[in-house]
Structure 1
């Protein structure tokens, strides 16, 4: 696998990080990963840079990823020294960009800290419990079936079941349904609409442990259907959905914090307040697309 790393984009990302090189005495020697013009690059610098553009190196071996990051930061330091030598630090463009980046970083850190205070583990658990309590129960039925080509074959299977034969064993021996035959006819847990209508209708009349007393006809042939179990669909586990819930809470908290700050600030927006166009979802929401 080949990894293509664009140094120009990575260097731009590192500027936003505000990476700094420290004197040798400020860090332990084990933390030094490079020296450039008497300044050191540390493991902390590498870690910060990895957070910014790590996706560009996703899948790369760890040592190769680390080496690539260090190479880019070395280049960044060399170019920065050259820029200082040419007096770019004193230019208005540099100062404007640094002021912008400073405000951007302050905003990010401020929201990060405030959002972390607002979205605790307890808040995530509470939101999960509330969402789960609002979900209506959905009944699932675990089905087995045996598909036969003729009605007589299906009646023979029913007769064998009446005489004590094992449903799963008969399905493995006789069912024409290649997908479920090797699993003893097991279709797993399904809801209404997930199987063909004839099977749904037959299963609706059966209690757990019962099978159809007569063959069920469909476009595929003749079925013998057994209901193994009925249950309400289990809710997704907390561990499965907690990251998604946390992201939603954090997004809402950040928006709420910014709205509160705006109400307290004196703001004059001197350009027209024009909303961004909505993304095209493939549906015509205008008058011409209205249904009569």
Structure 2
């Protein structure tokens, strides 16, 4: 039984179920369709996964799953009713996706996107103190102005269970991770400055700006932008395909 048909290609129900056993999760049909689309796109652009590329991906998969010995890898496959070729078939779209990304998204496009969206990649290292009432937040703000330690107050008073044990520390945040009012204040502040209170869905926030980092087109930012641009290009290609999820079609 065919589960998905796409521009003359098909994915069988057996392949769908086998993918689930190998990946450890039963994938959504969309995930399988995406893999098939990647293979089709690679074929159209004459992009191929060479043996060395597949071997590296296979080695990474074995490390990820603790399959360091050949015997344990064989046993793992047998438990799932699969063979090595089945696993390689599942991993091939990952390799092709990476190769396509390198082919399609050139550095000029990355640099242009960064220049147009530079502010989105500014980062702020923050600690927060969250309370339910505005009056309490204001009182704590006065205590901070009198010299109280922000992190000590956060451990004692903050209602945020996730950050309270760390003295309110929440790590590096981008503008888009903060609401516009808070983001404007944070990225206009100085290091060590305390801001707020800001009203949020959680209550009232006091925010300590530990440090600010101006956006740079470093390795991580380049990777993030390349991924974003590739996703946009892939979605455009996917919409051009005739995809039929026949797994949902009733026989009769």
TM-score, structure 2 normalization? 0.43
Structure of greater Rg: 1
Between 1 and 2, higher relative CO (CA 8 Å, sep ≥ 6) is seen in 2
TM-score, structure 1 normalization? 0.38
**Is the strand fraction higher in 1 or 2?**
2
